[in-house]
Structure 1
Amino acid sequence: MFRDRAEAEAYVASVCFKHGPPRLFGVEIEWTVHHRDDPTRQLDAGALAAALGRHAPPTLVPDSPQRPLPSGTPLTVEPGGQVEISTPPRTSLTELLKTVGEDVTQLRNLLASADLVLGERGADPFRPPTRMLRVPRYAAMEHAFEPIGPEGITMMCSTAGLQVCLDFGLREHLNARWAAVHALGPVLNALFANSPGVNGRRPDWASARMRTLYGTDPVRTRPAAGDCEDPAGAWSRRVLDTPVIAIRQPGPNWIPPRPLTFAEWVDGALDRVPTSDDLDYHLSLLFPPVRPRGYMEVRYLDTPPHGRWIPPVVLMAALFSDASVVDEVLAATESVAGRWLTAARYGLADRAVDQAAHAVVEIGCRALDRTDLSMGQAAAVAEDLHRTLAEKSGGVTP
């Protein structure tokens, strides 16, 4: 239990911002799921459960053993039926790519048994958001987001992202890496944007998914302070000042009895004092584009088309392969840091973002030899990155 706000803030800083030699890489990918014969048809929970079989999570099948894939990767399901793989982190980028590739193939094969396929975009362009999972967490989220507007239920049920997980690195490099991962956000979101519209809305946005995230509940979805003297302190204060939207308790109703922030809960607003488990759960209900979880969970990339997930993962790893590369990234992105909505709206049609994207790709390609990829793998990634630039480039906005 927390005696006061300062103790709770210290806990957040200690669990969210861990530093040490950067060693691990992780990847999480989620997809919308569609009937093969008609992607506009509403997804059937029974068909999805049958396809996933013993790998289904308890949120979908309450008595499921949730067996991991052969690699050890668990499958999870998001509120609208999106399926996610969360490959365990690896010290080798080459090994990580191999494992993720095997996981994707395994998942596709499972879904094919029920004539289901993975979506090809970062947002469902066809179907209105419909919540499939009837569990207390998602009921509480929907209750909190609904008064703000339609973006919350859309984010929950109609969007899908590629997440890259990177270590914070040594303490002396933490601030620069935290600033760089945020400054890169608009650039990489634009470069890999893959959600032109979501359930018929905003078809002219390069990343309608990012626009949806931004509008869901700004206090918990806006970017964190990237370039600041004390990232851990700033994040801890934000966490304590964010409203609590779910309290785990017996029964199906996890909605708080009254509106309150976590700081107010610590100060005695409810009939019990929150524990570290309560604070951990509260942390899981914040959804900024970069979420600190003891490592940097990069959440601003749309799920890419089939077969195109490797280049953004490798580029992120290369850009954080050395402190000198991070310094180059900061210099290349300084003029567009914070340009989140412009990048999501126009993609690389925004001239400033386009110029930064070219610089970032060149920096990343030069740093590929700092990874453990073979020369052939590195060359293939560099070719794909330059092809993506060519496909999406051509800045036109001032």
Structure 2
Amino acid sequence: MARDQIDMTPLETRDELVAWLEAGCKPPSQFRVGTEHEKFVFTLKDHQPVPYAGHQSIRALLDGMHGLLGWEPIMEGDNIIGMFDVTGGGAISLEPGGQFELSGAPFDNVHQTAAELFAHLAQVREVAKPLGIGFIGLGMTPTWSRADMPVMPKGRYKIMTNYMPKVGTRGLDMMYRTCTVQSNLDFSSEADMVKKLRVSLALQPVATALFANSPFTEGCPNGYLSARSEIWRDTDNNRAGMLPFAFEDGMGFERYVDYALDVPMYFVKRGDSYIDVSGKSFRDFFAGKLDALPGERPTISDWANHLSTIFPEVRLKRYLEMRGADGGPWRRLPALSAYWVGIFYDDDALDACWQMVKDWTAEERQKLRDDVPKLGFKAEIRNRNVLTLAQETLRVSARGLARRKRLDRNGRDETRYLRPLEESIARGITPAEELLEKYHGEWGGSVDHIYDEYMY
């Protein structure tokens, strides 16, 4: 999750909210890609979750990372809850159940975001090994119950934990037991934003299938390939989903602002404290009608923080966030960014994908999104299965990456990062089905082997 923003300029008009989003437009020469990834932290000895405090703890891990990197710590009271690179690089933050997140810096190309990821994994291993701690990338905790999960000392999570059970049945699982990898990408204009938002919303279920990696819950197969994606179907439907309005005429920054104004809020941050305003809309706040802050008007920071608590399949901020993928092994993390960079940052590729999806109806898109967590590549839309769509979009992405000609020092372009996805498609099975094969085969019905085999 994003670091809380600090800009206390009071907002006067809705136009300022629109302008804040619009300020994200960049010329294509300045397009960047950022990769965010979360991972579960476990004890090497007995594969248990790691608490916040103590000798073998998340805090010890953060203190060690701080010593190693020298990044600026992010404190909440006396607790270190993350750190950021003051030179404009990445940040490290904690998800509610101690999932350890790298919010990567924006880079020119996939080679750079991949190098950042690999450096980060090497750094956390260096700090974690003496502590007897390991990391694994999966969409959902494979063996731990919700009661097993530690709770991180962050004010915003306390508010969310109280609110989630009021609006859905799976919100606490989402917070405490899931991990994702996200890719953040730019747009050049309002029209470019709209086209990219539509293409990526329509194709998000394809990405979900390509990265489906959460077939186990509490030590057993759970009946899904992406249990993480299924959990989102009943987390909080006022702030999640496929944004059908994005495909309607008149879509643009203003329409997204109107949507966001009505999404219920979680909190308002003042100084170091989080004020619980859960369930109230930003529109109420804008009108000075929050009981907790009578007569007070929101600031730019409040708006930025609110936008970071909206969880659709693709999220608009001053860039677009691809939110459909399960966390996974290290080779798959840059693959997500490569897939979307190839589609987004080449006009022919973006247009080819738009031609594929432009006639789909809201109902068809929704059904695809609902079917993929269980069916993966076998889900269908218009008599075509997701495996075929994955093949086609991957080919389009590879051509887009090849045309970009961003070469590494060995003269290789960015298409090499698509290899893990091409391997899945060649076998016709998702990563989750690969895990299930092992569970039913060499693992002899025990999920516990996953920690040793899939540890970063």
TM-score, normalised via structure 2 length: 0.77
Counterpart for residue 229 of structure 2:
210
Structure 1 residue 244 displacement after superposition: 2.0
Structure 2 residue matching 1:308: 3-state secondary structure: helix
Q: Is the 8 A contact 1:49 1:61 kept in 2?
A: no
Contact preservation (8 Å) 1:192, 1:304: yes
Greater Cα shift, 14-23 or 284-293: 14-23
Give secondary structure in 1 for the equivalent of 2:330.
coil
1:363 aligns with 2:396: yes
1:30 paired residue number = 38
Query: How far did residue 346 of structure 1 move?
Result: 1.1
1:183-220 CA-partner distances (Å, limit 9, x unpaired)? 11011111111111444687121111111123111111
Name the CA shift for 1:70/1:200 in 2 (closer, same or farther; >3 Å): farther
1:175 aligns with 2:194: yes
Alignment partners' CA distance in 2, 1:147 and 1:67: 33
> Structure 1 residue 60: deviation in Å?
9.5
Q: 1:278: Cα distance to partner? A: 2.2
For the structure 1 residues 74 and 356, does the alpha-carbon distance in structure 2 shift closer, same or farther, using more than 3 Å as the test? Answer: same
1-structure distance, mates of 2:138, 2:125 = 15
1:296 aligns with 2:320: yes
8 A contact 1:25–1:89 mirrored in 2: yes
Alignment of 1:188-337 (within 5 A): 188-199=207-218, 203-224=222-243, 225-228=245-248, 229-249=250-270, 254-256=275-277, 259-270=279-290, 271-276=294-299, 277-334=301-358, 335=360, 337=365
Could you tell me how far 1:379 is from its partner in structure 2? 5.6
- CA distance, structure 2, for counterparts of residue 65 and residue 211 of structure 1: 29
User: Structure 1 171/241 Cα, relative in aligned 2: closer, same or farther at 3 Å?
Assistant: closer
CA deviation map 1:344-386 (0-9, x unaligned): 2211122422221111111112222123135645463344322
Q: Deviations over 1:226-263 (max 9, x none)?
A: 4233232221111111122212247866222x842221
1:112-155, Cα deviation, whole Å (9 max, x unpaired): 22111112311112112335213321111111112234411111
User: d(CA) in 1 for partners of 2:102 and 2:224?
Assistant: 27
CA 1:172–1:262 in 2, change beyond 3 Å: closer, same or farther? closer
**Which runs of no fewer than 5 residues in structure 1 stay unpaired?**
none
CA distance in 2, matches of 1:251, 1:378: 42
Instruction: State yes or no: 1:13 paired with 2:18.
Output: yes
2:378 paired residue number: 349
- Higher strand proportion: 2
Structure 1 residue identity aligned to 2:398 = C
**1:44 maps to 2:51:** yes
Q: Give, as a single letter, the amino acid of the residue that structure 1 aligns with 2:25.
A: H
Percent of aligned positions that are identical: 22
Q: For 2:350, what is the secondary structure of its paired residue?
A: helix
Name the counterpart of 1:163. 182
Contact 1:71 1:103 in 2 (8 A): no
Q: Are residues 120 and 248 of structure 1, via their aligned partners in 2, closer, same or farther at CA, if it must alter by over 3 Å?
A: closer
Indicate conservation of the 8 Å contact 1:57/1:77, yes or no.
Answer: no
* Of 147, 155, 163, the match for 1:144: 163
- Stretch of structure 1 that moved more, 63-72 or 168-177: 63-72
Cα gap change, 1:120 to 1:392, in 2 (>3 Å): farther
| Counterpart residue identity of residue 386, structure 1 | E
Query: What is the number of equivalent residue pairs in this alignment?
Result: 388
Q: Residues 355 and 248 of structure 1: is their aligned pair in 2 closer, same or farther, counting only changes over 3 Å?
A: same
Partner of 1:102: 119
* Alpha-carbon contact 1:48-1:111 (below 8 Å) kept: no
C-alpha spacing 1:141/1:34, structure 2 compared with 1 (3 Å): same
1:92 is matched with: 109
- Cα RMSD between the aligned structures? 2.7
Judge which range, 196-205 or 274-283, deviates more: 196-205
3-state SS in 2 of match to 1:309 = helix
Distance in 2 (alpha carbons) for counterparts of 1:293 and 1:177: 13
